[in-house]
């Protein structure tokens, strides 16, 4: 029980740590007398309490180093980046748009989609904790609730049942009682499944264009001409005329509503 509770706290701290960085500047600017604590030289521990404090600091630093990965895997980033990658692959342009543009677009789309959830975490957990109206444990619980609600809404029931069965835990009475160690992996594989469904739908019109171009070249006897020479501009033209980026981004945003 103690290990499960520790894992739950580590996961929740990781979720909140990234959000703390988003609102820390404004919150700390309003806090009088705030100073960054210094770290003294490493000395031998004088008792068990100092050893326990050192271990807590070590766990906290580990969680902070994993915070970006935790935030990526518990938000809409996974689905968004998979769909955008499928779009680029379906068009056939290997490095256009560049990876930096794709990741940047996926990141800002994630912030847009997760905006209401992040706002709830900030209002219910981060700001009360920074102002001293809520202790750390209550802030963890309050911050976990909006994130868990978002993940539960986007997770398939069969994926939840799979990890509940693998963890050998009894089914919870309500979804709100799901442990975070079960919810996060179920959410991730559900996002992967949904992203691949989006990718399959995106691929269909581009495959039709490739088949049409190949058939035309074969019928004209131009078998030595690579089909991609003709199909790539045709796919780009069709994508522009259909306002593809508008449709893809709009569908991604609406899929979370």
pLDDT at position 196 is 92
Query: Three-class SS of residue 76?
Result: coil
pLDDT at position 47 is 47
Check whether 62 has a pLDDT greater than 80.
no
Residue 139 sits at φ, ψ, to 5 deg, of -65, -40
Side-chain-facing half-sphere of 197: CA atoms under 13 Å: 9
> What average pLDDT does the chain have?
76
pTM of this prediction?
0.71
pLDDT at position 23 is 47
* Cα–Cα dist 11/30, whole Å: 29
Which residues have a Cβ under 8 Å from the Cβ of 230 and sit 6 or more positions away?
213, 216, 217
In 3D, which of 249, 208, 207, 230 has the Cα closest to residue 84?
249
Q: Which residues of 29-50 are buried (b: 16+ CB within 10 A; e: fewer)?
A: eeeeeeeeeeeeeeeeeeeeee
In 3D, which of 24, 36, 21 has the Cα closest to residue 71?
21
Place of tokens 């030595």: 224
In 3D, which of 122, 134, 137 has the Cα closest to residue 8?
137
Report whether 180 contacts 155 (CB < 8 A): no
Check residues 203 and 29 and name the one with the higher pLDDT.
Answer: 203
Length of the chain counted residue by residue: 257
Reported as type and span, the H/E element at residue 134 is: none
* Cα–Cα dist 118/215, whole Å: 51
pLDDT tens-digit readout, 170-218:
777 777 777 878 888 899 999 999 999 998 998 898 888 888 888 887 7
């Amino acid at each position: 029980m103690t290990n499960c509770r520790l894992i739950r706290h580590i996961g929740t701290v990781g979720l909140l740590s990234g959000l703390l960085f988003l609102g820390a500047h404004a919150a700390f600017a309003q806090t009088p007398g705030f100073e960054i604590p210094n770290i003294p030289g490493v000395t031998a521990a004088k008792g068990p309490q100092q050893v326990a404090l050192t271990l807590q600091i070590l766990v906290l630093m580990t969680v902070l180093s994993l915070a970006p990965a935790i935030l990526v895997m518990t938000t809409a980033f996974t689905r968004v980046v998979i769909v955008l990658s499928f779009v680029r692959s379906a068009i056939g342009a290997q490095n256009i748009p560049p990876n930096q543009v794709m990741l940047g677009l996926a990141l800002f789309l994630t912030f847009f989609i997760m905006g209401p959830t992040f706002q709830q975490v900030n209002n219910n957990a981060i700001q009360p904790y920074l102002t001293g109206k809520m202790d750390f444990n209550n802030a963890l619980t309050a911050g976990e609730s909006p994130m868990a609600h978002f993940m539960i809404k986007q997770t398939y029931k069969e994926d939840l049942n799979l990890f509940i069965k693998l963890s050998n835990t009894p089914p919870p009475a309500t979804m709100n009682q799901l442990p975070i160690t079960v919810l996060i992996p179920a959410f991730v594989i559900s996002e992967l499944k949904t992203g691949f469904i989006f990718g399959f739908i995106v691929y269909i019109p581009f495959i039709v264009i490739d088949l049409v171009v190949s058939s035309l070249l074969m019928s004209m006897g131009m078998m030595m001409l690579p089909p991609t020479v003709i199909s790539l501009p045709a796919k780009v033209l069709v994508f522009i005329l259909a306002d593809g980026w508008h449709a893809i981004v709009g569908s991604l945003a609406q899929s979370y509503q």
